[in-house]
Amino acid sequence: MHVRRSVCPYDCPDACGLLVEVEDGLAVSVKGDPEHPHSRGSLCPKMNRYQDTVHSPRRLTVPLLRTGPKGSGRFEPATWPEAIDRIASRWRSLIADHGAQAILPYSYAGTMGLVQRNAGHPFFHRLGASRLDRTICTPAKGAGLEAVLGQTPCPHPTELRNCDLVVLWGINAVATNVHGLLEVREARRRGGKVWLVETYRTPTAAEADSTFLVRPGSDGALALGLMHVLERDGLLDRAFLDAHTQGFPELSREILPDYPPERVEALTGLPAAEVEAMARAYGAAKAPCIVIGGGLSRYGNGAMTVRTIACLPALVGAYDRPGGGCFGHTSTGGAFALGEVTREDLLPGPVRTVNMNRLGHALGELSGPRVMSLYVYHSNPAVVAPDQNAVLAGLAREDLFTVVHERFLTDTARYADIVLPATSSLEHSDLYKAYGSYCIQRARPALPPVGESRSNWEVFGLLAQAMGFQEPFFRQSADDLIDHLLGLPSPWRQGIDEAALAEGRAVEVAPPPGPRFRTPSGKVELLNPREPHPLPRFLPPHAEGEAPPFSLMTAPSLFGLNSSFCERDELRARRKGMRIRMAPGDAEARGLRDGDAVAAFNALGEVAFALEVSPAVPSGVLVAEGVWWLEFAPGTRSVNALTSQRLTDRGGGSTFYDNKVDIRKLG
Ligand code: SF4
């Protein structure tokens, strides 16, 4: 038995350090690495038995060729040379008939390592394929923060300990940021207060002193109402506003008068007296910090909402206090020259870009040229992309040549013409950075590949060879590329322990020195003249005013991560089936009871659930946590048959929480 260091590869801010016990080439246990500066030895429930994912009997071990109808999941085994030859010859013929842009890659963050995650970029750039705008997560959050703070670095997560008020705004940290939550607990232990602002009582409410529930998509109105009261009651930090902000006189004159607490109550559902009390407590705090979640931004008004909330700390000077301000996400991108992986220079010229949130549209309606081939790697769009019915109709097209590189026979893989078995993170090399801390870490394979599985990097090397690409870049190994990246200097990595990094330990980088606020004006930009709306304001979400009566929250689960971890029996069991939660009063009004088989529906589709009547959910809201593979769904569709392809106001992001549905009893 020996122990290897590795990193959690999933799309989570923490990038936890792992210690993997290996015996006879198999992972026998996976534990947290106590030496990891951020995760400090603990893992979330999903990763505590990662060996059960890695050695799941569901793992794909050989390439597969389709033998049945698309979606049937009927395949026969093939060799790697046979599979690669088929892909290359079909692509050559498609390129001759339709041009390379008829080929569309599709990937997101099934694995977060820089090399494996981005391994397809140089290949598809060299091919001249359509580009994918990878915006399914929180680009609107980034756009909103940048509008106010530019490139100002996020505080170190340990600074949260120093806050006397932490506002968890739109973040179910128990599910999505468990190690950031340790810092929040420490702040509370030291006497600080914790608030949660949410659309329903998530499990994170148990971590908070006060929970404030607002109508979905109305958070920006609450932020404006708080600013209104802060100004009205003389709770502003005038010295900070004068010295470090741009545009407060305009904000004060043109916007804030429109958001008195009574109007904010009408917009958010939060009683005016609570808005007043929140503002007074926030204004009185010495070092308040708002932890801004991703959920806030998955609405048609998502970027404006985040931008508005990011203005709030400036009014009380919180950005100037240790621990105060707002915590969005750490951006350690500068630590490595990512362009050396993505290789934009290989593009043959301008190519079109397809937004990943509009895959259904791209497969069904896009022309010039029509998408004739889809290559999916470490993503499962058949269930995670919005508007599932449109996506599945596209995947079912007989003239669409689909290749899926995956660890499991996912719903997307079932529609593939060719399935390629993928390595897990324990079986390949990679280089990781985090977005909830400043840690970076190198991982080497802890195990040999399961079966004949191969990494993204290896498969794109094989495809490059088969397509006749001569560039030496495609012939190097993942470790060669990692060595190259680490050989390039970066001010972020100055002074780090290079030896520790080389031997696979996590080390912390730091933002290079610079001005306090890294915006064009050098100030917090309450007014940003480069934005379509120079001042923050409340924009209604897409679904406001739509007819179905219930707002649908497609929230994260504690025991899954999007569609990842559905392969694990014990984690599925802890999720207790595919349920939709409803307020007791709403259930009674509809004659529905706990445990009823119900269907939620709207103009896009209909999805079967088991009903859970829950006091955690306010009236007018329905909550469906997690994404389920169709084989485990009570009906034929999962929750994204109810979510739309509409995009956010900035950033081209997804709007998963901005949908209305109705509900009825089945049977
Ligand atoms: S908390 Fe996040 S990074 Fe850590 S083990 Fe869980 S999913 Fe992975």
Q: Pocket of ligand 1, candidates 11, 31, 44, 568: which has the most ligand atoms within 8 Å of its Cβ, to mutate?
A: 44
375-411: per-residue pLDDT in tens? 999 999 999 999 999 999 999 999 999 999 999 999 9
Q: How far is the CA of 560 from the centre of ligand 1 (A)?
A: 11
Q: How far is the CA of 435 from the centre of ligand 1 (A)?
A: 12
User: Given the structure tokens 């009582």, which residue do they identify?
Assistant: 201
Q: What is the dihedral sign for C-alpha 271, 204, 624, 554? A: positive
Q: Which residues touch 354 (CB under 8 Å, ≥6 apart)? A: 104, 130, 131, 132, 133, 362, 366, 371
Helix (H, G, I), strand (E, B) or coil at 513: coil
Integer Cα distance of 575 and 570 in angstroms: 9
Nearest in space to 430 (alpha carbons), one of 2, 1, 10: 10
pLDDT band at 457 (very low <50, low <70, confident <90, very high): very high
Q: How far is the CA of 45 from the centre of ligand 1 (A)?
A: 8
CB 408 within 8 A of CB 54: no
Neighbours of 616 (CB within 10 A): 17
Integer Cα distance of 335 and 36 in angstroms: 18
| Percent residues over pLDDT 70 in the chain | 100
- Encoded amino acid at 520, one letter: P
144-189: per-residue pLDDT in tens? 999 999 999 999 999 999 999 999 999 999 999 999 999 999 999 9
Integer Cα distance of 334 and 353 in angstroms: 25
pTM recorded for the entire structure? 0.96
293-339: per-residue pLDDT in tens? 999 999 999 999 999 999 999 999 999 998 899 999 998 888 999 99
Name all residues whose Cβ lies below 6 A of ligand 1: 8, 10, 12, 14-16, 39, 43-44, 46-47, 178
Q: How far is the CA of 434 from the centre of ligand 1 (A)?
A: 11
Longest dimension (CA), the chain: 73
3-state secondary structure labels for all residues of 168-236: EECCCHHHHCHHHHHHHHHHHHCCCEEEEEECCCCHHHHHCCEEEECCCCCHHHHHHHHHHHHHHCCCC
Of all protein residues, whose CA lies closest to atom 1 belonging to ligand 1?
A: 44
Q: Which residues touch 280 (CB under 8 Å, ≥6 apart)? A: 229, 233, 235
Integer Cα distance of 262 and 259 in angstroms: 8
Q: What angle do CA 125, 336, 485 make, to 5 degrees?
A: 75
Nearest in space to 115 (alpha carbons), one of 612, 458, 598, 554: 458
Of all protein residues, whose CA lies closest to atom 8 belonging to ligand 1?
A: 8
Measured from the CA of 178, which atom of ligand 1 is nearest?
1
CB 650 within 8 A of CB 590: no
Nearest in space to 313 (alpha carbons), one of 249, 244, 221: 244
| Percent residues over pLDDT 90 in the chain | 98
- Dihedral Cα 62, 63, 65, 70, nearest 10 deg: 90
Q: Which residues touch 481 (CB under 8 Å, ≥6 apart)? A: 115, 340, 341, 457
505-563: per-residue pLDDT in tens? 999 999 999 999 999 999 999 999 999 999 999 999 999 989 999 999 998 999 999 99
Q: How far is the CA of 177 from the centre of ligand 1 (A)?
A: 8
Extract the tokens encoding 539: 């924009």
Nearest in space to 470 (alpha carbons), one of 346, 386, 647: 346
Q: How far is the CA of 640 from the centre of ligand 1 (A)?
A: 24
DSSP letters spanning 111-147: S--HHHHTTHHHHHHHHTPPEEE--SS-HHHHHHHHH
Integer Cα distance of 589 and 421 in angstroms: 50
Nearest in space to 414 (alpha carbons), one of 76, 72, 65, 61: 72
Look at residue 1 in the predicted model and tell me its pLDDT. 87
Helix axes 272-284, 219-232, angle to 10 degrees: 60
Look at residue 641 in the predicted model and tell me its pLDDT. 98
Alpha-carbon radius of gyration of the chain: 25
Q: Which residues touch 10 (CB under 8 Å, ≥6 apart)? A: 46, 47, 109, 110, 111, 112, 561, 564
Look at residue 331 in the predicted model and tell me its pLDDT. 80
Measured from the CA of 46, which atom of ligand 1 is nearest?
6
Extract the tokens encoding 157: 């997560």
CB 314 within 8 A of CB 230: no
On the CB side of 556, how many CA atoms lie within 13 Å of its CA?
27
User: 595 burial class (0-12, 13-18, 19+ CB within 10 angstroms)?
Assistant: exposed
610-661: per-residue pLDDT in tens? 999 999 999 999 999 999 999 999 999 999 999 999 999 999 999 999 999 9
Helix (H, G, I), strand (E, B) or coil at 581: strand
Look at residue 9 in the predicted model and tell me its pLDDT. 96
CB 14 within 8 A of CB 177: yes
Measured from the CA of 9, which atom of ligand 1 is nearest?
8
Q: What is the dihedral sign for C-alpha 110, 111, 112, 114? A: negative
CB 204 within 8 A of CB 168: yes
Measured from the CA of 47, which atom of ligand 1 is nearest?
5
Q: How far is the CA of 509 from the centre of ligand 1 (A)?
A: 20
The mean pLDDT value for 207-220 works out to 98
